[in-house]
A = this chain, B = another copy of it.
Amino acid sequence: MVSRPLISEEVANKIKAKIIRGEIQVGERLPAEQELAAEYNVSIRSIREAVRYLVSYHIVEIRRGIGTFVCSNPGISDDPLGFDFMNLDVLYPDLIEIRLMLEPEIFVLAAHRGKKRDFNKAADILKDIQKMNLQMAQSNSAESDEQLYKKFWEYDISFHCCFYQASQNEIANRILPLILNTIRNLYQSPSFKSFRKSPDFYSRHQAILNAVLAKDDDLIRQLCRLHIRSGSQEGKLLLKDQDGFCKEK
């Protein structure tokens, strides 16, 4: 005997299908409960349950006193792969291992598929970093170390995201920012923090951008690997098999 799906679940799936088809857009407000009840010919109670189901799948969010809206990334929670539940000693090296596999190839794709505006954006971010470096060298900065550190990370993530977007691979665009954000939260060692503020940080990114602009696939791969590995060293992160894995090809 197959159990019948609940009415509320059926309604939730119908609303979800509308969102997938774009009939209700991202960020848009759902119709009022009464309207939905009339549309699907069910009780208000069933509509409420359906909405709860959609909330639990991060498809819609309730803004108290305002209404129910389609999430900006429907279906994706803040921690979709459950990193919170992993042992940090495992999470660290595993994330870097996957990043080493994906990121160099994604940057190669970016070189071949990217638009001029993606690369211009990346170049602008580097100019901002260099400006910050100069200010710091002249001790003109009124910002605290903690503020600078935060700023550097924001620049770093925006820089990398330019290339994820340029790669035009939607899955990479969902997985890699997640990995980068998680690594960011893990990098808390003092040596890593001070490196963030060094001029090397700037030049390393500049070299990658140059290789991408030159569409030099092998150089892109080499520089990306070096960059990720150096990052883990500065962050005092241990890689899994220091020698064995993901050998240079």
**Contacts from A to B (Cβ < 8 Å):** 16, 19-20, 52, 55-58, 73-77, 79-86, 90-91, 94-95, 97-98, 101-102, 105-106, 108-109, 112-113, 168-172, 174-175, 179, 217, 240-241, 244-247, 249
Contacts and interface: CB of A to CB of B under 8 A. Distances in A.
The 7 closest A-B pairs by CB, nearest first: A75-B82, A80-B80, A56-B56, A76-B82, A94-B171, A101-B105, A249-B249
Contact of A101 (B81, B83, B102, B247): B102
A167 B166 CA distance: 30
Nearest to A79: B75
Contacts of A56: 55-56, 58
Contact of A247 (B84, B175, B217): B217
Contacts of A105: 101, 246
Nearest to A73: B82
B245 A112 contact: yes
Contacts of A75: 77, 79, 81-85
Nearest to A95: B171
B77 A170 contact: no
12 contacts: A73-B82, A75-B84, A76-B81, A77-B77, A80-B81, A81-B171, A81-B175, A97-B109, A101-B101, A109-B245, A168-B240, A175-B175
A241 B112 contact: yes
A85 B74 contact: yes
B77 A57 contact: yes
Contacts of A19: 85
A91 B247 CA distance: 30
Nearest to A77: B57
Given A20-B84, A80-B77, A81-B175, A94 B170 contact: yes
Q: Which of A16, A171, A240, A244 has the most CB of B within 10 A?
A: A171
A108 B240 CA distance: 14
Given A75-B79, A82-B75, A246-B105, A170 B57 contact: no
Nearest to A104: B101
A66 to B, nearest CB: 16
Nearest to A84: B75
B86 A170 contact: yes
Contacts of A172: 94, 98
Nearest to A247: B217
